[in-house]
Amino acid sequence: MIDLKHSSLALTAGALCLSVLGIAGCATTPMPTDHFALAHASIERAEQAGATELAPVELQAARDKLAAAEASPKNSAGAVAAARLADEAQVDARLAEASSQAARSRRAANELDRSLDALRAETNRSTP
């Protein structure tokens, strides 16, 4: 015969385990708001460096990835994906900032070259 007392205890223990697993499965990993904040700050720095004009593709990639990160599902897998996308957005924003600075440096160097060429031409005209 089946012992009902042991059978009932086993059933209760099994139900308790399933409940605990169900609760743990529903628990969510918090969204990586610190990653979002860093990406936002990097995008802002890139904008201030002139990336809107000088590195628009890289800046838009950063914005798109950050928007995708913030729209990620609010569960564990979504939080992991959101952190990765926010990190990629930060890297893209830093690239946009660096590209902007490089473009400004190239412009300044080109202007300096033109000024030097004009000075040389003036010097050559002045020399008899």
Q: Is the dihedral of CA 36, 42, 47, 53 positive or negative?
A: negative
**Within a domain: 3:** no
**Within a domain: 35:** yes
How many domains does the chain contain in total? Answer: 1
Number of residues assigned to the chain:
128
Indicate the pTM of the whole model: 0.71
User: What are the pLDDT digits (tens) for 36-59?
Assistant: 999 999 999 999 999 999 999 999
**Within a domain: 20:** no
**Within a domain: 7:** no
Residue 21 to residue 78: CA distance in whole angstroms? 20
What CATH number does the domain containing 96 carry? 1.20.1270.390
User: What are the pLDDT digits (tens) for 81-95?
Assistant: 999 999 999 999 999
**Is residue 68 within 8 Å of residue 114, measured between CB atoms?**
no
Residue range of the domain that includes 85: 30-126
Q: Is the pLDDT of residue 24 over 70?
A: no
- Beta-carbon count within 10 A of 65 CB: 22
**Is residue 62 within 8 Å of residue 90, measured between CB atoms?**
yes
